[in-house]
Amino acid sequence: MISLTAIISFLIPVAILMLILKLIALPIKIIIHLLINVILGGIILFALSAAGIVTVALTWWMAAIVGFLGVPGAIIVAILAIFVI
């Protein structure tokens, strides 16, 4: 027969492991979400350049601006491309 001490000594490390994995999963989820936004920002910049609306150099920073800010970021990058770059 399994003693209560053996069961508790098994359950406590399992509970701690589950807590640690849950704490690690949140930052990974945020990083994946930001990475997807940056990729979508790069696609938007590519579409703007392909359509001939504005010539934008497709760089990591430009894609990150559009990915983080969305449509306002695309407008900012387009204005920067027209007047600054």
User: Could you tell me the CA-to-CA distances from 58 to 9, 21, 47, 51, 55 in Å, in that order?
Assistant: 55, 36, 11, 14, 9
Per-residue pLDDT, 45:
80
The total of structural domains in the chain comes to 1
Quote the domain boundaries for residue 58. 4-83
Top pLDDT among 58 and 19 is at 19
Instruction: Report the alpha-carbon distance of residue 11 to residue 14 in Å, rounded.
Output: 5
Q: Tens of pLDDT along 59-84?
A: 778 777 887 887 788 888 888 888 87
Given a cut of 80, whether residue 6 has pLDDT beyond it is no
pLDDT tens-digit map of 25-67: 778 888 888 888 888 887 878 888 888 877 877 777 877 788 7
CA 79, distance to chain mean position in Å, is 25
